[in-house]
């Protein structure tokens, strides 16, 4: 008999320094003594938003004014299955206090890993460290000066995650470009992910590796040379493979018609949402998207959008 699923809603609340509020669970509770994102079980028939507002008022004495979905995790603890629906609280009224006596702490997302959280929260910590827009560079940088100027404009405009894609370059030219791109990204506090064969990427400066669908099939374990590893997926088998390899995040495409792959059949948002429902890690929606699609992407369960044309400036 399948175990009943406990529906839990939780809030990721940020302060103006970008730190996130966490609370310590009571020792006697399930996952007791561990840190959590404030929240709790939904009441029967309650919507996630109503539950979020109620829980954060009860536990912290704050009123949620604006929020949006961040990530939804299904986790089997053995004795129970939890569906943890985490929302980013964008605005709230009041000052959070531990109304149930629970200790609270504000922590930068990069430092959350030093705390002990329930197992279900691991992908939530990853989602909090990733931005909502992933820029894929393009087209091939035949003119490196113009290419770097475009990259610089995107970084100045707030892009903080860049995938260096240049399939037309040989290994030498790609390595030279990675060198420049890495320095530019580092100057802006952005993460550079290399879309290259793992052996080549492992020898180049960067923060991460992007596995194309080809390399996702070929590697037998998670490549270890860079801290971040993501992959391109187009359906359930590739999504399952990325999970089995314990990659940090994935891209699922194409959501809409795209000039890069004109022959591919677009998924549309509802098929996209259905495909990523069982995926317990951040998913970027890709294919014909731009910043105007962010709200639809969040509602479909995505971390955000990935794009070439939608985020790369061509003028
Ligand atoms: N709030 C919260 N719960 C989490 C997180 N991670 C995680 O695995 N859980 C699990 C632990 C529990 O099994 C369940 C939440 O149940 P709870 O006991 O806190 O719910 P509640 O506040 O409604 O408490 P109660 O009325 O049952 O006493 O979700 C998290 O980050 N935040």
Atom of ligand 1 minimally distant from the CA of 120: 8
Give the Cβ contact number of residue 80 at 10 Å.
12
Q: What is the pLDDT of residue 314?
A: 59
CATH, domain range 5-121: 3.90.79.10
Residue 67, C-beta contacts closer than 8 angstroms, at least 6 positions apart: 11, 49, 52, 87, 88, 89, 90
Q: Is 135 exposed, middle or buried (0-12, 13-18, 19+ CB in 10 A)?
A: buried
Residue with tokens 């890069």: 260
The answer to whether residues 162 and 154 touch, using CB atoms and an 8 Å cutoff, is: yes
Cβ contacts of 43 within 8 Å, gap of 6 or more: 51, 54
pLDDT at 29 over 80: yes
| pLDDT above 80 for 309 | yes
Residue 263 pLDDT grade (very low, low, confident, very high; cuts 50, 70, 90): confident
pLDDT range class, residue 260, cuts 50, 70, 90: confident
pLDDT per position as a tens digit, 210-244: 999 999 999 999 999 899 999 999 999 999 999 99
Indicate whether residue 36 lines ligand 1 (CB < 6 A). Answer: yes
Q: Are 230 and 249 in contact (CB under 8 A)?
A: yes
Q: Is 238 close to ligand 1, i.e. is its CB under 6 Å away?
A: no
Protein residue whose Cα sits closest to atom 19 of ligand 1: 40
Nearest to 23 by CA among 126, 97, 73, 130: 97
Mean pLDDT of all residues in the chain? 95
Q: Whose CA is nearest to atom 5 of ligand 1?
A: 36
Q: Which of 35, 42, 84, 125 to mutate to test the pocket of ligand 1 (most atoms within 8 A of CB)?
A: 84
- pLDDT, greater one: 225 or 96: 96
Asked if residues 284 and 134 have their Cβ atoms less than 8 Å apart, the reply is yes
Kindly state if the Cβ of 81 falls inside 6 Å of ligand 1.
no
Burial tier of 207 (Cβ tally within 10 Å: 0-12, 13-18, 19+): middle
Task: Please classify residue 27 by burial: count the beta carbons closer than 10 Å to its beta carbon, then call 0-12 exposed, 13-18 middle and 19+ buried.
Answer: exposed
pLDDT(116) > 90 = yes
Q: Percent of the chain scored above 90 by pLDDT?
A: 89
Both tokens of 63, joined, read 């009123």
Q: How far apart are CA 13 and CA 307, in angstroms?
A: 27
306 - beta bridge partners? Answer: 134, 286
pLDDT, mean of residues 54-83 = 97
9 pocket-lining for ligand 1 (C-beta < 6 Å): no
Q: Say yes or no: CB of residue 54 within 6 Å of ligand 1.
A: no
Question: Closest Cα to residue 164, out of 184, 189, 181?
Answer: 181
Residue nearest (by alpha carbon) to ligand 1 atom 27:
41
| C-beta 59 within 6 A of ligand 1 | no
* CATH superfamily of domain region 133-307: Aldolase class I (3.20.20.70)
Question: What is the structure's pLDDT at 143?
Answer: 82
Q: Which residues on adjacent β-strands are paired with residue 135? A: 162, 307
Ligand 1 proximity of 121 Cβ (cutoff 6 Å):
yes
Two domains, one topology: 5-121 and 133-307: no
What are the structural domain ranges in the chain? 5-121, 133-307
State the first-to-last Cα distance of the chain, in angstroms, to the nearest integer: 59
Which pLDDT does position 259 carry in this prediction?
Answer: 78
Q: List, for residues 128-151, the tens digit of each pLDDT value.
A: 999 999 999 987 677 888 899 999
68 CA distance to ligand 1 centroid (A)? 20
Identify the band that residue 1 occupies on the pLDDT scale cut at 50, 70 and 90: low
Q: Which of 94-98, 101-105, 137-141, 182-186 shows the lowest mean pLDDT across its residues?
A: 137-141
40 lines ligand 1 (CB under 6 A): yes
**pLDDT for position 264:** 83
CA atoms of 204 and 170, how far apart (whole Å): 14
73 lines ligand 1 (CB under 6 A): no
CA 126 – ligand 1 centroid, Å: 19
Structure tokens at 109: 């997302």
Ligand 1 atom nearest the C-alpha of 35 is 31
Q: How far apart (Å, rounded) are the C-alpha atoms in residues 2 and 17?
A: 43
Residue pLDDT, tens place only, 171-213: 999 999 999 999 999 999 999 999 999 999 999 999 999 999 9
Evaluate if residue 315 carries a pLDDT over 70: no
Ligand 1 mean position, distance from CA 138 (Å) = 44
Burial class (CB in 10 A: 0-12, 13-18, 19+), 121: buried
Q: How many CB atoms lie within 10 A of CB 233?
A: 26
């Amino acid at each position: 008999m399948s175990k009943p699923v406990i529906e839990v809603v939780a809030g990721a609340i940020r302060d103006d320094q970008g730190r996130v509020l966490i609370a310590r669970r009571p020792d006697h509770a399930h996952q007791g003594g561990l840190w959590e994102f404030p929240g709790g079980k939904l009441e029967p028939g309650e919507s996630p938003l109503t539950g979020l507002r109620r829980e954060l008022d009860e536990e912290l004495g704050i009123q949620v004014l604006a929020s949006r979905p961040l990530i939804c995790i299904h986790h089997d603890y053995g004795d129970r299955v939890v569906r943890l629906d985490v929302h980013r609280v964008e605005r709230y009224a009041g000052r959070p206090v531990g109304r149930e006596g629970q200790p609270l702490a504000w922590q930068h997302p990069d430092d959350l890993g030093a705390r002990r959280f329930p197992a279900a929260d691991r992908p939530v910590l990853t989602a909090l460290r990733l931005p909502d827009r992933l820029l894929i560079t393009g087209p091939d940088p035949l003119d490196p000066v113009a290419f770097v100027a475009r990259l610089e404009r995107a970084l100045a405009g707030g892009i903080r995650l860049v995938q260096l894609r240049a399939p037309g370059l040989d290994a030498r030219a790609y390595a030279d470009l990675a060198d420049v791109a890495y320095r530019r990204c580092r100057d802006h506090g952005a993460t550079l992910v290399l879309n290259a064969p793992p052996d080549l990427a492992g020898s180049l400066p960067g923060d991460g590796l992007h596995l194309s669908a080809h390399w996702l099939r070929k590697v037998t374990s998670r490549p270890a040379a860079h801290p971040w590893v993501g992959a391109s997926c187009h359906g359930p088998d590739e999504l399952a493979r990325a999970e089995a390899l314990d990659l940090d995040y994935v891209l699922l495409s194409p959501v809409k018609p795209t000039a890069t792959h004109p022959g591919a059949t677009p998924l549309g948002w509802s098929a996209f949402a259905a495909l990523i429902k069982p995926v317990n890690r951040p998913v970027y929606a890709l294919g014909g998207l731009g910043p105007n699609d962010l709200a639809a992407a969040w509602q479909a369960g995505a971390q955000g959008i990935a794009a070439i044309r939608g985020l790369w400036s061509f003028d």
